[in-house]
Amino acid sequence: MKNQARNKDNMTRLFLFFFTISLMLFFCLDADLAVGQTVDKLLKQARLQIRQKKLTIPANDNALKTLKQVLEIEPDNGEVPKLFEKMKSMYIRWAEQAQAQGKPSMAKIYYKRLLKIDPEDADILNRLEMLQGVRDTQGLDTERVEQEPVDLDNEQPSAAKEDQPPKVDTTKMVLIPEGQFVMGSDDIHPPDRTPAHKVFLKAFYIDTYEVTNGEMVKFLNSNGNPEGKYVRIGPESFIYKDGDKYFVKENKENYPANFVSWFGAKAYCEWAGKKLPTEAQWEKAARGTDGRRYPWGSERPSPRFLNFISFAHWKSVLKPVGSYEAGKSPYGLYDMAGNVWEWCSDWYSPRYYNDSPHDNPAGPEKGQHKVLRGGLFGQNPLYLETSYRNHNRPDLQGPYTGFRCVYEEVEKEDPESLVGYQ
């Protein structure tokens, strides 16, 4: 009887032990879930504040304050640095536009607000130092700027009207409808385009033509070409500089802009209220949903379809955009093969297709090279296939590097493509 009582007592203790452990685990999991929900809610709030251009002001409703709350809860949160980087790019863009409009005092305000994110940012401190002693040329009320935000859109611009950013005109673009398509190829050469896999993309617009020299010159006259970072200007290029203005050589306005770095392509698209296409967006626009090998179909490349003359000098073979009616993609896009390579927004990884997401893939988070698509005027026919992936350093500026832009209507208020006033 004593043994039975002892066994029963032991069983009771064992039950209570496991019950207590289970209860503790439950509360820990519940607490983790609550923390996760709180972080998600704060990140959602921060993204909304960025869309509303509430970056560091007003004091009680800004993205900086919200993201600091996230870091207090989850110091290693991976999205916070990305949102900080987005805020920084917005401030820098607004400050540079203010400088271009002759308003260095406004630019200083933006840079000082940016230092709230990182007080030791050497680049921003250097920019502020360079603005010391520079006076405004537009009669800006500096005290008013110090006291409240100023919307650049409501200030009189100093740049010529023809050099202002164009409004997004979707009639010059093609709508690529929402849906799924097959991306990549199972051809083993080259292996970086394998395996063929299904990808879903939300709807977007893409430029019917590659960006031209005429369009690029408007951008350069509005934004400059800091240290030649955007476009390489030289004896061979169709764009030249005379004094402080950029011009296009005679009869070359409608040729695709070339010698453009990835940085220049990205800057142009943002100035125009658009974006560089992701690699997936570019490929769907080029091949459609029927998995075609070339934009026009399966027939081998020939001068009927595209600008394709092997090993010829680029000046003798480059053609105006839209010159090849028979070479259009299934959506009606011109020059998706031949003429010049086109920059995409993605970093390049040869193994990205092995585990890329099904919905709206945007490429790896980091890398050394950026993706180029579409072949060029004189190359191996393999390079002209819609699934072929090229890549190079983002600072490359060759006679064969150009681009086109996309516009995502559902994200037309994305702060990356708007000029703000924080």
pLDDT (tens digit, 9 = 90+) per residue, 253-287? Answer: 999 999 999 999 999 999 999 999 999 999 999 99
- Count, residues in the chain: 422
Exposed / middle / buried, residue 100 (Cβ in 10 Å: 0-12, 13-18, 19+)? middle
Rounded Cα–Cα distance for residues 247 and 311 (Å): 29
Lowest mean pLDDT among 41-50, 213-222, 291-300, 409-418: 409-418
Q: Which amino acid is at 6?
A: R
List CB contacts of 294: < 8 A, sequence separation 6 or more.
301, 305, 337, 384, 385, 386
Judged by average pLDDT, the poorest of 218-232, 264-278, 407-421 is 407-421
- For residue range 71-80, list pLDDT tens digits in order: 999 988 988 8
Q: Check whether 53 has a pLDDT greater than 60.
A: yes
pLDDT reported for residue 144 = 37
Q: pLDDT-based confidence at 159, cuts 50/70/90?
A: very low
For the segment 346-352, the average pLDDT, to the nearest whole number, is 96
Percent of the chain with pLDDT over 70: 78
What percentage of the chain exceeds 90 in pLDDT? 49
Cα-Cα-Cα-Cα dihedral sign, residues 312, 317, 321, 322: negative
- Answer yes or no: is pLDDT of 414 > 80: no
Dihedral (CA of 334, 337, 343, 346) sign: positive
pLDDT classification of 180: cutoffs 50, 70, 90: very high
Helix residue ranges, H only, 52-121? 63-73, 79-100, 104-114
**Residue among 404, 403, 405, 361 at smallest CA distance from 202:** 361
Question: Encoding tokens for residue 211?
Answer: 């960006």
Task: Name the residue among 98, 183, 206, 184 with its Cα closest to residue 145.
Answer: 98
Q: What is the DSSP letter of 297?
A: B
Domains along the chain? Answer: 2-73 (no CATH), 79-152 (no CATH), 170-417 (3.90.1580.10)
Q: Tell me the C-alpha to C-alpha distance, in Å, between residue 146 and each of 91, 136, 199, 329.
A: 16, 14, 48, 52
Q: In 326-395, which ranges are continuous DSSP H helix?
A: none
Quote the tokens at residue 212. Answer: 């031209």
Provide the H-helix boundaries in 303-406: 314-317
Q: Would you call 346 helix, strand, or coil by DSSP?
A: strand
Q: Which stretches does DSSP call E strand in 249-389?
A: 341-347, 370-373
User: 366: buried, middle or exposed (CB in 10 Å: 19+, 13-18, 0-12)?
Assistant: exposed
Is pLDDT at 38 greater than 60 in this prediction?
yes
Write down the pTM of the prediction.
0.61
